Structure formats: C-alpha cells, structure tokens
A and B are shown apart, each in its own frame.
Chain A
C-alpha cells in the first residue's frame, strides 16, 4: 500500500523567511496530493492541493511542487508570519473519493 514520508518533523524560521516541507510517496498510481494545516486542538484544514497532471500550483504565499518521476512533492511558504505556526501534513491518494494516506507532520514555528 501507499506510504508517505515527511521531513522535517520540526522547522523553526524567522518571520519573513521561507519554509519548505518535503514529502515522498511510494505508490506511483497516486494522483492527488493535498496539504493540511492543523492548529493545536483544531481540525485539519486544506490549504492547497495538486493533481498529478500539474507540476506546480501557487496560492498567494503558498506553493506546492510535484515531481512524479521522483515521487516527491513539497510545500513552500514565503514571507512567513507568526500565524503560519502550526502542524502541516502532506497526504496522497490514488483515486477521486478515496482514503488519504498522511505523512507524520511537520511542526512549523515562526518566530517574530
């Protein structure tokens, strides 16, 4: 079955710097890769996603890149702000309306 690895487990950056979180997946049939942000005690919230027919997607300060050959995808946050501090999870799935396989999470801390 699918396996998703995520690095780093923790990331500390200064406000205004960029943050990059990387994930790898094992199932070459996976075709949908969402990123969720989870604040302490709250529900996971989708912040950006990418499908396998696209190499990059941007939404304001957030971007995701996908390398299907290497089975890597990454989250990039530019101009980080203290409110970006949270745990970020990557995930992968094979089909529409199918279970998500999550990475182990990255705790991002943005210091003012």
Chain B
C-alpha cells in the first residue's frame, strides 16, 4: 500500500511569512508524529497525535508552531512568522495503535530566506 506522503516536498518562504506543511499517514494508522531534522542532526520530536488529539506537544519550540489533525488522518503543521532558524526538513511518521514501528514520510524541506 501507499506509504506516508508529505506535501510540498520543498517550500521556500520569506522571513515573517506563514507556512503550512501537510502529512498523509498510512491508512489506518492512528498515531502520527512530526519531527524536525536540521542538517547533520537526528530527527527531533515536535508533536504526536493519537487520533484527532495531540497526545504530546512538548517538542514544539514555541507558540509560532501549531499542528492539527481534525479528522484523525491528514495532519497539517502550521508555522507563523517564520524565522531563518526554522529552516530544516520536517518529517512526518505514522504507526498503528499500540505499535512501535514508525514509518516516515519523505519530508518537506523548508527554507526561510
């Protein structure tokens, strides 16, 4: 079946702009995760959804970052007033309820000029 997909694959924006990044998890996966990966680093946890609710948002760096998953499937990561330091690859992953294995999407490379 289809894996985790993310759109767009690349996003270039200007400092101060608003961006939305989308994640389509594997069908039937109830858990969805967002990670951020800076160059040369491991993925860093941002937020985790179980169904429609955010079960853990402790990794969001500040209140400019927000994520939703209104119907328990697709999720959108929203970043307001982007800063150059937000430039990174944003990865999404999903897993079945009670499962450990997380399947990653290809990521969205965000560049803030």
Docked-complex contact A105 and B41, CB < 8 angstroms? yes
Residues of B within 8 A of A34 (CB): 100-102
Contact assessment for A96 and B102 in the assembled complex, using a CB-CB cutoff below 8 Å:
no
In which size bucket is the chain B interface? 20 to 34
* A43, B104: Cα distance in complex, Å: 6
Tell yes or no: B1 within 8 A of A by CB.
no
The reply to whether the CB of A61 lies closer than 8 angstroms to some CB of chain B is no
- Within 8 Å by CB of A97, from B35, B41, B98, lies B98
CB of B43 within 8 A of CB of A89, answer yes
Q: In the bound complex, do residue A100 and residue B104 qualify as a contact, i.e. CB atoms below 8 Å apart?
A: no
Whether A43 pairs with B42 at a CB distance below 8 angstroms is: no
Pair B101/A46 contact, Cβ less than 8 Å: yes
How many Å lie between the Cα of A104 and that of B37 in the bound state? Answer: 10
Min distance, Cβ B30 to any Cβ of chain A, angstroms? 8
Residue numbers in A under 8 Å from B105 (CB-CB):
43
Give the A interface residue count (CB, 8 A): 24
Contact in complex: B106, A101 (CB < 8 Å): no
**B95 contacts A by Cβ under 8 Å:** yes
Across the two chains, which residue of chain A brings its CB closest to B101?
A46
Q: Are B48 and A103 in contact (CB under 8 A)?
A: no
B30: nearest residue on chain A (CB-CB)? A97
Taking the complex as formed, is B50 at the interface, i.e. its CB lies under 8 A from any CB of chain A? yes
Given contacts A43-B105, A105-B40, contact A99 B100 (CB under 8 A): no
A97 touches B43 (CB 8 A): no
A71-112 interface code vs B (CB 8 A; 1 in, 0 out): 000000000000000000101010011111111110000000
Determine if A14 is an interface residue (Cβ-Cβ < 8 Å): no
The CA-CA distance from A91 to B41 in the complex, in Å, is 13
Nearest chain B CB to A43 CB, angstrom units: 4
Partner of B95, one of A44, A97, A103: A97
- B40 contacts A99, CB within 8 Å? no
Q: Pick the residue among A44, A91, A104 that contacts B91 (CB under 8 A).
A: A44
Q: Mark interface residues in A42-56 (1 if CB within 8 Å of B CB, else 0).
A: 111110010100000
